[in-house]
Chain A
Amino acid sequence: AQKVTQAQTEISVVEKEDVTLDCVYETRDTTYYLFWYKQPPSGELVFLIRRNSFDEQNEISGRYSWNFQKSTSSFNFTITASQVVDSAVYFCALTNSGGYQKVTFGTGTKLQVIP
């Protein structure tokens, strides 16, 4: 069975601070995919990143960066110099490489950036 754990339920930071959102996953598959989604107050889930299990390179996109470590089964997400617009619920997710993919979502981390 697959499992995604986001232990941080809510985080508050002051604008311009850096913040890291943790994600730990469990899977028996050797090939799998990890995702991060952002859910702003409007409700729509916005896709941020997808990473496959064979690519452990860290990725940076503007103020966002992701640290994938298979040794610790973690896929953490860092926002540098946070802004109020970053306030949202962030979901980490996991799926296997099957034809139909059932995505297992974490319970989400609510990030509040205080101006």
Chain B
Amino acid sequence: SQTIHQWPATLVQPVGSPLSLECTVEGTSNPNLYWYRQAAGRGLQLLFYSVGIGQISSEVPQNLSASRPQDRQFILSSKKLLLSDSGFYLCAWSPGQGADTQYFGPGTRLTVL
């Protein structure tokens, strides 16, 4: 069966510090991968998606970037965090064929102080 991991689970970072969040998927090959952000009490905002290694598409311009160095690894980064980057970050995967269901990881709660 497939599983998706995210770490760290929680993170408190000062403004201006760098960020690296990691997401890995097990038990599948060539998945589509997604990064979402959920601000407190709000809905989900798609940040990035990837259909293959090195292929990243950004949905909104922002302070963040994403990379996919391996087939089942998706990384969310920032060089300098802003207060507005605080939120709950969710990684998701889908099988990559047609309109398949997206399955979500446990999330990372980021607080920027």
Interface residues of A (CB under 8 A from B): 32-33, 35, 37, 42-47, 50, 52, 91, 95-103, 105-108
Contacts and interface: CB of A to CB of B under 8 A. Distances in A.
Given A43-B88, A47-B101, A100 B44 contact: no
Contacts, number: 56
Contact of A44 (B51, B101, B102, B106): B106
Given A91-B44, A95-B99, A107-B42, A100 B109 contact: no
Contacts of A42: 106
Contacts of B102: 47, 101, 103
Contact of B46 (A37, A102, A107): A102
Interface of B: 32, 42-44, 46, 49, 51, 59, 88, 90, 92, 94, 97-107, 109
A105 B105 CA distance: 17
A44 B46 contact: no
Given A96-B99, A98-B99, A100-B51, A44 B105 contact: yes
A50 B51 CA distance: 21
A37 B43 CA distance: 12
Nearest to B42: A107
